[in-house]
Amino acid sequence: MSKSRISPFWRQCFVTATVCFTTIGQGAVVGFPAILLPQLKEKGSDLTLTEEAGSWIASVSAITLLLGSFMASPIQGRLGRKIAHFVVILHILVGWLVIILAKSIEVMIIGRIIHGMSFGLMLPLRSVLIGEYTSPKNRGAFLTTISVTQAFGVLLVHLIGSCVSWQKTILILLSFPLASLLMTFYTPETPSWYADKGRYEQCRQVFRWLRGNEEEAELEAMINARAFKSDKTEIANCKDVVTLIKKKEFYKPIVIMVHSYLMGVFSGGALMSCYSTTIITLIAGPEVDAHFWMVALDAQRNISNIIAVYVVNKVKRRTMMLSTGSLCILSSIAIAGYVYAKNTGMLTYTASWIPILLINVQFFTVAVGMVCLPYVIAGEIFPLEYRSLGGSISIVSIACGYFIVTKTFPALEGAIGLHGAYTVYAAVLSYNLFVIWALLPETKDRTLQEIEEHFRGKSLRAEDIEVSQSLKNNKENVEKAISL
């Protein structure tokens, strides 16, 4: 890489910003049904929307999210993280164009399907990109920007869509993936991918361009660990599925991330993104301005996300996850109890500030812990060897959870009421939090290599590293001799 006066920190800010612009576009995709569906239901709309079609527009992206997440692993593993990022951006652009040109609900659903593909491709990729680009001391804060920018995308689409038509909203939102497309041309491939492919010289160049010369120990540990695994793999040639599943460094991070992602989905973030005005009306009553509180809650979520960027660098991951998870469960139970007491006449005092306060408390937990922390943890706990595959497998939980929540909410609310639905969500949250409490190690201020060794249960022995280094040096010497 060419020399520059720009400090490594600002280079890490630039590559993170590139990911963040794409994530803003993804947030807009998530929040789009909340402004689209009410406008399609208005009299004079060009398209006729049924209740069933509306639920499909809100939820269909979750189905193709699953497909996209499995496509992410071979693309980012074989072609590189940068190429995978280009693929994500192109899917976002094509999806918006299909929706804005749609002449029927069916075509609009196709656009949402394409957006689901882009979301599935991006979910494992964005944590991998930022995790591999950034230094351990700032990695938590950089990874937290994922939830900040996704929440900003939701806020933006809700705010713009409350003022102008959904078509004009799309035209404004197109600027973010276009900006990301331009910036991606100027970002390098990640050093971890170069190391994984045995391209160690390029790995060193990019790593030093991103991190400077003060983190050489992590660089050499990453290269030595990868070289040792490559050499050992060539000798043993053992890649069967049973052996892979038995590896603690493979299955434990996946189990943790499956339950962490489900915490984020059932915490209320996904539900409020798609059905915010409906839920606010059901909880607070028809007399409140649902559109105003939708935007206000989005703004609160963004402020809380920004606070989380600071807090995540100061507080341990386990502490944040367990405390915000417990508060989220309590707020869900409180909302269920309030709605039940109000509907049955047990509560005579029903001032609107009470449900609004409860929703704000829940949104605070969503923004500070439930949604942002899983992306932070995902960028830290997967070993390099299984980072693409493990990330894609764990994303299944987001796809399934998101589809179940958004598709079944209208029917669930109709069958057991809003209080019943929130009670179910609180039970799911409690189970997932227990699993996280039992399995999640502390990852704050630890290098990716140290975290990987924790799950493996042992570190590479010094003699193993020496052998792999000797083999690597011999291989490089042979290559140089051939080239001469």
Q: What are the pLDDT digits (tens) for 279-338?
A: 888 888 777 887 788 788 878 877 887 787 778 778 888 888 899 899 999 999 999 999
Mean per-residue pLDDT over the chain, rounded: 81
- CA-to-CA dists, residue 91 to 135, 173, 200, angstroms: 30, 14, 32
Treating both helix axes as pointing N-terminal to C-terminal, what angle do 216-236 and 462-483 enclose, rounded to 10 degrees?
Answer: 80
Q: Look at residue 238 in the predicted model and tell me its pLDDT.
A: 44
Q: Look at residue 299 in the predicted model and tell me its pLDDT.
A: 83
**pLDDT band for position 82 (50/70/90)?**
very high
User: Given a cut of 80, is residue 88 above it in pLDDT?
Assistant: yes
What would the DSSP string read from start to end of 219-272? HHHHHHHHHHHHHHHHHH----HHHHHH-HHHHHHHHHHHHHHHHHHHTTHHHH
Closest C-alpha among 57, 69, 1, 66 to residue 30: 57
User: Given a cut of 60, is residue 387 above it in pLDDT?
Assistant: yes
Q: b/e per residue, 188-202, with b = 16+ CB within 10 A?
A: bbbbbbbbbbeebeb
Q: Which has more pLDDT, 297 or 236?
A: 297
CA 94, 99, 105, 107 dihedral sign is negative
Q: Look at residue 98 in the predicted model and tell me its pLDDT.
A: 93
Contacts of 130-133 with CB under 8 Å at 24 or more apart are: 130/15, 130/16, 130/19, 130/379, 131/378, 131/379, 131/380, 131/448, 132/81, 132/190, 132/191, 132/192, 132/193, 132/448, 133/12, 133/15, 133/16, 133/190, 133/210
Phi and psi at residue 101, to the nearest 5°:
-95, 0
State the Cα–Cα distance between residues 313 and 58, nearest whole angstrom. 35
**pLDDT band for position 237 (50/70/90)?**
very low
State the Cα–Cα distance between residues 205 and 221, nearest whole angstrom. 15
How many Cβ atoms from other residues are within 10 Å of residue 434's Cβ? 12
Of 350-359, 401-410, 446-455, least confident by mean pLDDT is: 446-455
- CA-to-CA dists, residue 120 to 87, 101, 113, 264, 356, angstroms: 11, 23, 11, 16, 32
How many Cβ atoms from other residues are within 10 Å of residue 213's Cβ? 9
- For 198-205, what is the mean pLDDT? 88
Tokens linked to 365: 């937990």
Q: Look at residue 229 in the predicted model and tell me its pLDDT.
A: 58
User: Given a cut of 70, is residue 177 above it in pLDDT?
Assistant: yes
Closest C-alpha among 63, 64, 60, 70 to residue 32: 60
Q: Per mean pLDDT, which of 79-88, 217-226, 358-367 is the most reliable?
A: 79-88
Q: What is the pLDDT of residues 267-280, one digit of tens each?
A: 887 777 777 778 88
Closest C-alpha among 97, 118, 121, 117 to residue 108: 97
Q: Which has more pLDDT, 325 or 230?
A: 325
User: Given a cut of 60, is residue 465 above it in pLDDT?
Assistant: no
**pLDDT band for position 96 (50/70/90)?**
very high
User: Given a cut of 60, is residue 235 above it in pLDDT?
Assistant: no
User: Given a cut of 90, is residue 24 above it in pLDDT?
Assistant: yes
State the Cα–Cα distance between residues 169 and 36, nearest whole angstrom. 10
pTM of the model: 0.66
Q: Look at residue 111 in the predicted model and tell me its pLDDT.
A: 92
- For 45-73, what is the mean pLDDT? 78
Q: What is the pLDDT of residues 122-171, one digit of tens each?
A: 877 888 888 888 888 888 788 888 878 888 898 899 889 888 888 999 99
